[in-house]
Amino acid sequence: MTPRASMAASVVGFGVSVAAIFLLPSVLELFTLINATIYVSMAILALSLALIWGYGGILCFGQAAFFGLGGYTYAVAAINFGDSTGAVVLAMVVPALFAALLGYFMFWGRIGDVYLGVITLTMTLIFFKLFNATAGDAYKIGKAALGGFNGIPSTPPLNLPWDVGSPLAPEDIWYIAASLLVLLYFGSRWLLRTSFGRVVVSIRENERRSELLGYDVRRYKLGIFTIGGAMAGISGILFANCVFVSPTMFSLFYSAQVIIWVTVGGIGTLLGPIIGAIALQMIVAKLGTLEVIDPNVVLGSILLLFVLLVPKGLLPLMQSGFDRLRRPKAPVPVEPAIRPTTTPGARRPEPAPPPVGSAPATNTLGGS
């Protein structure tokens, strides 16, 4: 897409999403609206992985750990404080700090991509086991009992900032969740256009090159990883407000699902994973009510289909389809025929790169 078309698309997209935010509560029943809020909170989780995996090149297999940590921090802090304002802040800070700590060891230790996946996955499973084992009165943080397998069913809802007397209704939480998604989406787009974001993307493309230019790649990776952790924390807060916190937030199910959403939606895009998250959750929910087939089988099949047939994902597929519709006669971009070089003799076609290992043809030592 041309910059102008993409600008127009963002304006239209922004308008549509604002309209949807305000129209949905009057159209949907309360139960469906709460479900929609869950989808949106999950879309934020997908967005966080889209940022660190799709743009940072860091395949984090344990994004659910930050999600769960955000949820638990929120629930525990809100119960203790009574007021949710400080709890919200803490629920972003704690996952971010944890991501920073973990990232420090991973990036300064220079471990490979595969091990990074293994470590993040293991970490989320450790949290899962840990919080499952917190049943009983012994496991209390202040006034909040962690509740083991059952989690914290009495997770308090958000209230107006510093006003404990005004808890928010599910509609309000919908407005907050949906606005946050829009905000974080445009925030991420902005982030990727900053100097920081551009360097992060360069590291994804070629880490060594950025290093040889003098960029400390560890810091940039740590930065984007921490931002991703904070975003997953926000997603956890919203989820805790729609459902309640329990160890399943740390489960492999969520960690794997996010990766599926991002893959299906399109790695290296921001909108794709959001669409992927919402669409796949709707499909899974629909299949769950029909009770014809196990939704997980369908989810797995969709992933397989996309990996094999549409490896770039849904959004790039839609974009190329859109471009083809607009320009049906010129599907291949036309290159300029003559390069406007300074030397007139350089108009011959470029040679193909030589096969690896072949000696240059002009190797004429002592020859001439």
Asked whether the beta carbons of 228 and 99 are under 8 A apart, the reply is yes
Q: Is 342 in the site for other proteins (CB under 8 A)?
A: yes
Alpha-carbon gap, residue 92 to 67, rounded angstroms = 10
H-run or E-run covering 144:
strand 144-145
Tokens found for residue 97: 């700090």
Choice between 138 and 352, CB closer to other proteins: 352
Q: Is 106 in the site for other proteins (CB under 8 A)?
A: no
Q: Is 331 in the site for other proteins (CB under 8 A)?
A: no
User: What Cα–Cα distance (Å) separates residue 318 from each residue in 265, 294, 314, 324?
Assistant: 10, 28, 6, 10
Choice between 214 and 331, CB closer to other proteins: 214
Choice between 140 and 189, CB closer to other proteins: 189
Question: In terms of residues, how long is the chain?
Answer: 368
Q: Is 337 in the site for other proteins (CB under 8 A)?
A: no
Residue 313 is classified by DSSP as -
Q: Is 41 in the site for other proteins (CB under 8 A)?
A: no
Alpha-carbon gap, residue 75 to 300, rounded angstroms = 32
Tokens found for residue 289: 């009510």
Q: Binding to other proteins (CB under 8 A): which residues in 186-225?
A: 195, 198-199, 201-202, 205-206, 208-217
* Tally of CA atoms within 13 A in the half-sphere of 137 that contains its CB: 0
Q: At what angle do helices 252-265 and 314-326 cross, to 10 degrees?
A: 10
Choice between 112 and 340, CB closer to other proteins: 340
Helix, strand, or coil here: 6? helix
Least distance (Å) from other proteins to the CB of residue 88? Answer: 33
Q: Is 138 in the site for other proteins (CB under 8 A)?
A: no
Q: Is 113 in the site for other proteins (CB under 8 A)?
A: no
Q: Is 350 in the site for other proteins (CB under 8 A)?
A: yes
Least distance (Å) from other proteins to the CB of residue 227? Answer: 20
Asked whether the beta carbons of 30 and 166 are under 8 A apart, the reply is no
Choice between 104 and 215, CB closer to other proteins: 215
Q: Is 4 in the site for other proteins (CB under 8 A)?
A: no
Choice between 328 and 333, CB closer to other proteins: 333
Place of tokens 């360097």: 199
User: What Cα–Cα distance (Å) separates residue 249 from each residue in 129, 182, 295?
Assistant: 11, 23, 19
Question: Which stretch in 62-70, 240-248, 273-281, 332-340 sits in contact with other proteins by CB under 8 A?
Answer: 332-340
Choice between 329 and 339, CB closer to other proteins: 339
Alpha-carbon gap, residue 38 to 164, rounded angstroms = 24
Choice from 165, 328, 331, 360 touching other proteins (CB under 8 A): 360
H-run or E-run covering 93:
helix 84-108
Q: How many residues make contact with other proteins (CB under 8 A)?
A: 40
Choice between 165 and 340, CB closer to other proteins: 340
Question: By the criterion CB under 8 A, which residues form the site for other proteins?
Answer: 195, 198-199, 201-202, 205-206, 208-217, 336, 339-343, 345-346, 348, 350-354, 359-360, 362-368
